[in-house]
Amino acid sequence: MSRYKTRMETPSQSRRSGAVEKRRGLISVVRAYFYNHRKNAAESFHRMRGEPLQSVMTMLVVAIALALPSMLYVGVSSLQQLSGSWDSSAQMTLFLKKGAKDKAIEGLIKELESNDELAEIHYISPSEALDALQGSAGFGEALTHLDDNPLPPVLLVVPTAAIEADVPRVEQLVKTLTQQPLVEEVQLDMKWLQRMQQILDIGRQITVLLGGALSLGVLLVVGNTIRLAIENRREEILVVKLVGGTNGFVRRPFLYTGLWYGMFGGLIAWLGVMVAQFWLGATVTRLAALYQSDFALKNIGLDGMLLIIVLGGILGLVGAALAVGRHIAQLEP
């Protein structure tokens, strides 16, 4: 075995190279640090591929937990978009008495134009309204069978911006307008809008609540998977600690595993939301078309993908950190 002697370094040689190492300084330390991180990231990934069933199941659980609030969020923000498309939330519809004379209506319009609480007045005559309705889906046929036009003349009225936000003043305005002899009924679109806003608020709260609860679920699932992984690699951890591995070094691969679970879970969740959108989207658009709306589900898009992956990654990392922090410090050779 003596022929192997020559190439082994002696301690004095290593001491010399130790001094050189110091001179090489920070850059090489940082480089070695990043090399170690890259290696850990890759190894954690390969290790997951080595146990595909376990890994995929964990990722799927993470994905489901992330996909549910994401879908809810998409739904709520789609509806939000819809309610936002009302240019003016305080628009009022004044249904006038049927058979009101054109002259009288003109007089009313003049009077309303002088009212400085109103910003816009738009008149829709019964025949215009009928034309519009005939263009609408499903009604055209039926309307041709009517002897005379059943529709009342309508005034669309928008209050000034100053009043719009002031609910009591809008209500006062509604009262005044109702008292006009020519006005049959005043409908405040805002009422409906307020109701929808409240429903959307509830939807948003449910999203946050569900998101919070399921995020906690992700933490626990990833944490538990990592805890099992630590148990499985007990021997290895002990050996690594015996040859001088710090707790940080031992922790790193597990943190990367958590990160991967979270990020891949996020990716699968995004795919799931996309599929659901694609599947539901066509139906929703068809339904909206029946109501003359161009409403469509908001696309979760690339921003959504990034967000959901980053969020998943953070949750996976935190879940792993919780498990690792508790178990690795306890494992001492």
Interface with another protein by CB under 8 A: which residues? Answer: 1, 4-5, 7-14, 28-29, 31-33, 35-36, 39, 235-236, 238-247, 249, 332-333
Contact at 8 Å (CB) between 88 and 190? Answer: no
Query: Nearest distance from residue 219's CB to another protein, in Å?
Result: 27
Give the closest residue to 284 by CA, choosing from 74, 65, 66, 85.
74
Q: Which residue lies nearer to another protein by CB, 97 or 241?
A: 241
Q: Which residue lies nearer to another protein by CB, 99 or 333?
A: 333
Query: Nearest distance from residue 239's CB to another protein, in Å?
Result: 5
Query: Nearest distance from residue 329's CB to another protein, in Å?
Result: 10
Q: Which residue lies nearer to another protein by CB, 28 or 78?
A: 28
Q: Which residue lies nearer to another protein by CB, 88 or 247?
A: 247
Q: Which residue lies nearer to another protein by CB, 120 or 231?
A: 231
Query: Nearest distance from residue 2's CB to another protein, in Å?
Result: 8
Sequence-ordered list of residues with C-beta below 8 angstroms from that of 319, at least 6 positions apart, any chain: 218, 219, 220, 221, 222, 223, 226, 258, 261, 262
Query: Nearest distance from residue 44's CB to another protein, in Å?
Result: 13
- C-alpha 295/C-alpha 159 separation (Å) is 26
Beta bridge partners of residue 120, listed in sequence order? 158
Contact at 8 Å (CB) between 155 and 109? Answer: yes
Q: Which residue lies nearer to another protein by CB, 10 or 114?
A: 10
Q: Which residue lies nearer to another protein by CB, 46 or 286?
A: 46
Query: Nearest distance from residue 49's CB to another protein, in Å?
Result: 14
Query: Nearest distance from residue 236's CB to another protein, in Å?
Result: 5
